[in-house]
C-alpha cells in the first residue's frame, strides 16, 4: 500500500524531507575529469548534495551521494543482471550509511533494456522494512530531454525534472536543470535516483 500524497516519506532520512515544496538546481561539475558527477544547489546557491562519479571514485558502476558537507548518504552500485522473460535486466542498488558507516539496502532500480528508449517507466522498489508500506516508485517521461517525473504507486507525482526557459537560451539542458520536489518527499532519495539516471543516459557520472 502506497503512502498518501502529502505525507512525510523518509527513505534515507527525515532530515531531507521538507515541509514545503522545494526547487533545486542540478549542475554538472566542470569536465576536469570524465565521470566527475554533479552538484545540487538551493535558491541561495548553497550546495546541498553532490554526486561523485567514477572519475572521482575510481570505480565504474558505483556512485556516492553526499550532503553539502561531503558526508556520504547513499552508496549506489550496479549489480549483475537478472533474466526476465527473454531479456537481461540490470539492477542498481542504493545503500544508506548508518552512524557506524555500515550499509543498509534502501532501494533497487531496474535499468531499462535500452538507453535509447524512454517509453517504458523505470521501476524503483523499496527494500527496507521501514519503507515497505510506500509501495514502489516509477520514473516516467524523457530524462535525457529533461522532461520527466517520479511518481509513487498511486500515480502521484513526487518530483518533476525540467529546464527553465531562460536556462534553455544560454546553456545546454544537460548541464543545468531543475528538480521540483513535493513537500514531505525525501530529497536524498530523489537525487539518488537521478544519479542513476544520469549514469544510464548522460554520463556526467560515468567514465
Give the residue, 59 or 77, on which the prediction is more confident. 77
Q: What span, in angstroms and rounded, lies between the C-alpha atoms of 180 and 174?
A: 16
What does the pLDDT read at residue 132? Answer: 79
What does the pLDDT read at residue 25? Answer: 95
What does the pLDDT read at residue 133? Answer: 84
pTM to 2 decimal places: 0.88
What does the pLDDT read at residue 58? Answer: 64
Task: State pLDDT tens for residues 24-54.
Answer: 999 987 655 556 789 999 999 999 999 998 7
The chain-wide mean pLDDT, for the chain, equals 84
What does the pLDDT read at residue 9? Answer: 85
Mean pLDDT calculated for residue range 7-23: 92
Give the residue, 166 or 129, on which the prediction is more confident. 129
* Residues with Cβ within 8 Å of residue 38, at least 6 apart in sequence: 26, 27, 28, 29, 50, 51, 198, 204, 205
Mean pLDDT calculated for residue range 133-144: 92
Up-side HSE of residue 99: CA atoms within 13 Å toward CB?
Answer: 0
Phi then psi dihedrals of residue 206, to 5 deg: -110, 135
H helical segments located in the chain: 54-57, 165-170, 187-197
Per-residue confidence band for 154, with pLDDT thresholds at 50, 70 and 90: very high
Cell 553526499, located at residue: 66
Give the residue, 186 or 82, on which the prediction is more confident. 186
What does the pLDDT read at residue 73? Answer: 96
Amino acid at each position: 500500500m502506497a503512502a498518501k500524497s502529502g505525507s512525510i516519506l523518509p527513505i534515507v532520512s527525515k532530515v531531507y524531507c521538507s515541509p514545503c515544496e522545494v526547487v533545486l538546481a542540478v549542475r554538472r561539475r566542470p569536465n576536469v575529469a570524465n565521470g566527475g558527477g554533479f552538484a545540487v544547489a538551493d535558491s541561495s546557491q548553497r550546495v546541498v548534495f553532490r554526486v561523485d562519479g567514477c572519475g572521482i571514485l575510481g570505480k565504474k558502476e558505483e556512485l556516492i551521494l553526499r550532503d553539502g558537507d561531503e558526508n556520504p548518504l547513499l552508496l549506489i552500485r550496479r549489480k549483475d543482471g537478472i533474466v526476465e522473460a527473454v531479456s537481461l535486466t540490470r539492477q542498481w542498488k542504493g545503500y544508506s550509511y548508518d552512524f557506524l558507516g555500515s550499509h543498509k539496502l534502501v532501494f533497487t532500480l531496474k535499468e531499462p533494456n535500452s538507453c535509447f528508449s524512454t517509453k517504458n517507466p523505470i521501476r524503483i522498489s523499496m527494500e527496507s522494512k521501514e519503507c515497505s508500506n510506500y509501495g514502489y516508485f516509477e520514473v516516467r517521461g524523457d530524462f535525457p530531454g529533461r522532461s520527466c517525473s517520479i511518481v509513487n504507486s498511486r500515480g502521484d507525482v513526487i518530483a518533476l525534472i525540467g529546464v527553465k526557459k531562460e536556462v534553455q537560451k544560454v546553456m545546454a539542458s544537460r548541464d543545468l536543470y531543475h528538480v521540483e520536489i513535493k513537500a514531505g518527499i525525501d530529497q536524498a532519495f530523489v537525487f539518488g535516483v537521478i544519479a542513476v539516471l544520469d549514469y544510464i543516459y548522460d554520463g556526467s557520472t560515468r567514465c
